[in-house]
Structure 1
Amino acid sequence: MIAFAELLERLTLTPGRLAKIALLRRFFETEPDPDRGIGLAALTGELAFDAAKPALIRQLAESRTDPVLFAWSYDYVGDLAETVALMWPERRVNAPPPLLMEVVQSLATTPKSELGALVAGWLDASPAPVRLAILKLITGGLRVGASVRIAKIALAELSGGRIAADDIEEVWHGLSPPYTELFAWLEGRGDKPDPAGAPVFRPPMLAHPLEVQDLAVLDYARYVAEWKWDGIRVQLVSTPGGRRLYSRGSEDISAAFPEIVEAMTFDAVLDGELLVLRDGPDGVVVAPFADLQQRLNRKAPTGRMMQQFPVGIRLYDMLFEADEDLRPLPFDARRRRLEDWFARAAPARMDLSELIDVPDLPALSVLRDGARAASIEGLMLKRRDSPYVPGRPKGLWWKWKRDPLTIDAVLMYAQRGHGKRSSFYSDYTFGLWRQLEGGSEELVPVGKAYSGFTDAELAMLDRWIRNHTTARFGPVREVAHGRDAGIVLEIAFDAAQRSTRHKSGVALRFPRVSRLRTDKPPAEADRLDILIRLLEGEATIAI
């Protein structure tokens, strides 16, 4: 446990990606089985303890500390595990810190009624860094800046260059903690793990943003275009060993969309876009992303929700047909195979993405300029001879998104962030002016932004918020906002959508702070009717 705690601490304090990879590789090289495998599972989110809840940790901390002081400290720090680890009172005990495997096994097998005493004993026997590691394991919130991809790159380095991270990705979903078979393969002591027909995830092929300098040199005759739909990219894996629906980041989202899994009565691996699709008077209509958001992150959707927000897949590509790997084939050949397969299989809840010829840049620009009116993110350009390769190889696939929209909004509320931002007010609710009867105006919130500003701007905003707080609502701070008092933010966003969650009736898609308008008084911020007109101009597209 001490080695794992040291790893978490150093990962948290190490900003560089290569340095994080080196730390992980050293941990995997020096720690024995099964501890290194348990550590890997914790870092990649493969551990879950249903009995031990954050509420239990809070109860333990409040029983050992002043509850009021704990509440204030937790509010300031913003992280439960870190607060408890730092505030837990030291006690002299004749017991060493627990082993990593001991913690995992005990959390999985100890009756709920005995967990409190067990965890308290561990915390009493451990110094602050080990306490933090134990609590992070229990709460599942490591947040050390080491993604699953970084962990797999570090694992690949164990092989001395024999095995790539993408090779690990292709067997990952057929493995389970503590991954002894995986480590044996990486270190040359065993064969490659065989997923045995399990529905494993394949690393997706991604596109580069199309910049102005790229537009001037592209040979458009070599490319075919597709609409860039405003849903989420998914991979459908259906094999004799099972069916899985994965997000682009390899997360298994099958439980959230059971109707899609039920429709996967085939033996193939497909690439597509998950959308809310409805029947319209002129064909199938793609609903706004806000509708799809109602289904995301729900492990067990109700029948009513599935009826209200019916999902489907717009298919882009075919990676496998039965056992045949189609990825080395050029895009044109894979597309023909996909079309032939689709005609035979006729899978429910799925259709094919439309292909668009690309004669020249002017024609492409006209299509892209019309994307916003059709509620489409933009265009994809795919080279006809491109194989399906993992990662983001430049020159094969391009994405040309529509330009973002901007509004000038007034900062109304702020809340502290998490992790490295837990001491800063970095989450901002902003609003626009709305006309009232009689001619007066009021500010109404239309969204929240968490990104887009520099560290210097964050420090300035944090200082301003602390000096201009007018009310407190739990962790939320209301700040001065009016015609002559407040701060204006230029907000960039992709689209406006109707929303019942906001008093304004409008919400923004992917809002972020574009710049601080310290030159502009709040009275000159934008009016809500601008967003309303924009929303009324946005239409869904019939296919």
Structure 2
Amino acid sequence: MLAFAQLLDRLSYEPRRLAKEALLKAYFAEAPDPDRGYALATLTGNLSFKNAKPAMLRTLIADRTDPVLFALSYDFVGDLSETIALMWPSAAVDDTPPAAPPPLRVVVERLASAGKAETPRLLETWLDGLDETGRWALLKLVTGGLRVGVSARLAKTAVARLGGVDPNEVEEVWHGLAPPYEDLFAWVEGRAGKPETTDPVPFRPAMLAHPLDEEKDIGVLPASSFRAEWKWDGIRVQAVCAPAAGGAGHVRRLYTRTGEDISGTFPDILAVLDFHAAIDGELLVKRDGAVRPFGDLQKRLNRKTVGAKLQKDYPAAIRAYDLLALDGVDLRDRPLAERRRMLEDFLAGLGEPRIDLSPQIPAGDWAGWARARKSPATFLPREDAEAVEGLMLKRLDSVYVPGRPKGLWYKWKRDPFLIDAVLMYAQRGHGKRSSFYSDYTFGVWRRGAGGEELVPVGKAYFGFTDEELQQIDRFVRNHTVNRFGPVREVEHTAETGLVLEVAFEGLNRSPRHKSGLAMRFPRISRLRWDKPPSEADWIETLNAFLPSSEA
């Protein structure tokens, strides 16, 4: 447990990706089985304990400390695990040293088998025997919210580096494996062959694109070697279906581009997967043949259960980009032009309205592509045009390579929307930002019953530099006019306040928000110290950005 705690502690303070990878690789090389496998499961979000929940941890600390002091401390620290770890009092009543911390495997296996009544006693015993870092790591293990800057992909990459295995090979067998992954470690270390997986519908690591550099790339890349298609405002998915072993029906699965299985959230999509193939495409909501705004898709995401009404009101669909496998044959090593022809034939034969073909853009030169990017409605129906994020440019001879290879695929996104808004409320962040007010609610002007007023229109917590974060934090502390628990109300009058230039990708109606609007991917573009709040934008400016179907 101590080695795992030290790993998490070092990862939380290390900002560099390659350095994090080196820390992970060293840990996986030194830690024994099955400890390192359980650590990998924790880092990839594949470990949970049904009887160990945050509410139970709050009860434990309430029995040991003053609840008012805990509430104040939690407000300041901003992280439940860190607050409990720092405040947990010693249980020693004499000079008897605490018991040695248990190995990680013991912690995981005991928590997995412990009943509801036994779990709190186990945690108390371990918390009493660990130091602050150990307690913090134990609590992170229990809650699952590590916040140490390690993605599942990075953790798998570090495992692959133990033996020079391609990380994409690890991705392809991953969904057929289970903690503590001893067969995976044996393979990458050369002690055994590649794990045999019986999964008929594996995830295939996605091919990604580089942002197009308008100054460097346009005019240099030969337009004749590329094909342009629309970049839709949904989420990238793989829809995979194959006959089950023994021929009893089909196995169907829907993956995100990172390999997360979201099949349970979209049963309506799974129901129409009746083929032996793997499709790469964009998950959207379509109604009456038209693509709906991203806000409609958001109503379907991150849900454990999806009822019939939600499926009816927000019907999911896939707009297909690519065909990765067909009838058990892997097509990824074939050129894009060939895969596209096969995809067109496949979808024509499929005849499923929920799975359609993403149209390519007729213009075959940079000037034509620039016009399409600026005015998608010239080429598409109005509703579909409003769901376009930009263009994808793909080499006709490109094979489907996992990751982000250079020179093959480019994304040319449309320019973001920009508004000037006024900072209204601020809240402390988490992890390394827990001492700073880094989560901001901002608003624009509108004419209300009592005259001109600011109304909140969005929240953002990134886009600024560390230096700008310190400047905003100082402004928040010096201009706080009210407190609502962990939230500070910041002075925002026509004369006094901080104007933020906010960039965002799109806008939708939202009855859940006071302004009636919801932004897509808002972030702070720059600080407008030069502008008084009276010169910030009005709600009418945002309404003009709404898709015509919602205006």
| TM-score range relative to shorter protein | over 0.9
Shift of 1:73: 0.6
Structure 2, unpaired ranges of 5+:
245-250
Aligned to 1:334: 339
- Cα distance in 2 for partners of 1:479, 1:318 equals 52
The answer as to 2:480 corresponding to 1:478 is: no
Separation in 2 of the partners of 1:371 and 1:78?
A: 44
Give distance in 1, aligned partners of 2:98 and 2:422: 58
- The match for 1:232 among 230, 235, 255 is 235
One-letter amino acid of the counterpart of residue 7, structure 1: L
CA deviation string 1:350-384 (max 9, x = no partner): 11111223322221111111138721111111111
1:243 is aligned to 2:252:
yes
The reply to whether residue 209 of structure 1 matches residue 211 of structure 2 is yes
Question: Greater shift after overlay, 94-103 or 360-369?
Answer: 94-103
Distance in 2 between the 1:346 and 1:96 partners? 64
Do the aligned partners of 1:317 and 1:338 also contact (CA within 8 Å) in 2? yes
**1:435 equivalent in structure 2:** 447
Counterpart-to-counterpart distance in 2, 1:137 and 1:169: 23
Counterpart position of 1:387 = 399
Of 108, 111, 123, which aligns to 1:119? 123
Write the deviation string for residues 84-133 of structure 1: whole angstroms up to 9, x where unpaired. 11111123355221221111112111110221111111111112211111
Determine helix, strand or coil for the equivalent of 1:214: coil
- Single out whichever of 369-378 and 229-238 deviates more from structure 2: 369-378
Counterpart position of 1:164: 166
Segments ≥4 residues shifted beyond 3 Å: none
Q: What corresponds to 1:505 in structure 2?
A: 516
Contact 1:49–1:138 (CA under 8 A) maintained in structure 2: yes
Query: 1:87 — aligned with what?
Result: 87
Across the aligned residues of Structure 1 and Structure 2, the Cα RMSD in angstroms comes to: 1.5
Q: What corresponds to 1:364 in structure 2? A: 369
Following superposition of structure 1 onto structure 2, how do residues 99-118 of structure 1 map, counting pairs within 5 Å? 99-118=103-122
Measured after TM superposition, the shift of residue 539 of structure 1 is: 4.9
How far the C-alpha of 1:202 sits from its partner, in A, is: 1.0
Q: Is residue 195 from structure 1 mapped to residue 200 from structure 2 by the alignment?
A: no
Letter in 2 for 1:143: R
Specify which of 399, 402, 406 is matched with residue 418 of structure 2. 406
Judged with a 3 Å threshold, the aligned counterparts in structure 2 of structure 1 residues 3 and 219 are, in CA distance, closer, same or farther, namely: same
1:529 aligned to 513, 523, 540, which one? Answer: 540
Secondary structure of 1:305 counterpart = helix
- Aligned-pair CA distance for 1:437: 5.0
How far apart are the structure 2 equivalents of 1:483 and 1:495? 27
2:247 alignment counterpart = none
User: Deviations 1:364-410 (Å, cap 9, x if unpaired)?
Assistant: 11111113872111111111111110111122111111111111111
Counterpart contact for 2:218–2:366, Cα < 8 Å = yes
The aligned counterpart of 2:321 is 316
Given residue 238 of structure 2, which amino acid in structure 1 is its aligned partner? Q
Note the C-alpha offset of 1:2.
Answer: 1.1
Per the normalisation by structure 2, the TM-score is 0.94
- 3-state DSSP of counterpart to 2:440: strand
| Segment of structure 1 superposing worse, 492-501 or 28-37 | 492-501
Matched, 1:264 2:268: no
- AA aligned opposite 2:138: I
| Residue equivalent to 1:177 | 179
Matches of 1:100 and 1:495 in 2, distance apart?
Answer: 45
Match of 1:58 in 2: 58
Q: Which runs of 5+ in 1 are unaligned?
A: none
Measure the CA separation in 1 of the matches of 2:485 and 2:239: 43
Q: Is residue 227–residue 364 contact of structure 2 (8 Å, CA) maintained in 1?
A: no
Counterpart selection for 1:131 from 128, 135, 146 = 135
Q: Give the 3 Å change call, closer, same or farther, for CA 529–462 of structure 1 in structure 2.
A: same
**Percent identity between the two aligned chains:** 58
Q: Alignment partner of 2:261: what SS? A: coil
State whether residues 197 and 240 of structure 1, in contact with CA within 8 Å, keep that contact through their aligned partners in structure 2.
no
User: Residue type of the partner of 2:462?
Assistant: S
Superposition deviation, residue 516 in structure 1: 0.6
**Partners of 2:448 and 2:15 in 1: CA distance:** 49
Structure 2 residue identity aligned to 1:350: I
2:429 aligned residue: 417
Please give the secondary structure, in 2, of the residue aligned with 1:69.
helix
Q: Deviations over 1:237-266 (max 9, x none)?
A: 222353211111111111111111121122
Matched, 1:220 2:232: no
Give the one of 276, 287, 290 matched to 1:285: 290
Give me the whole-angstrom Cα distance separating, in 2, the residues matched to 1:84 and 1:285: 50
How far the C-alpha of 1:194 sits from its partner, in A, is 1.6
Tell me the secondary structure at the aligned position of residue 112 of structure 1.
coil
TM-score (norm 1): 0.95
State the distance in 2 between where 1:534 and 1:320 align: 40
Report the CA distance between 1:346 and its aligned residue: 2.7
CA deviation string 1:29-76 (max 9, x = no partner): 111111111111111111011211101111111111111111111111
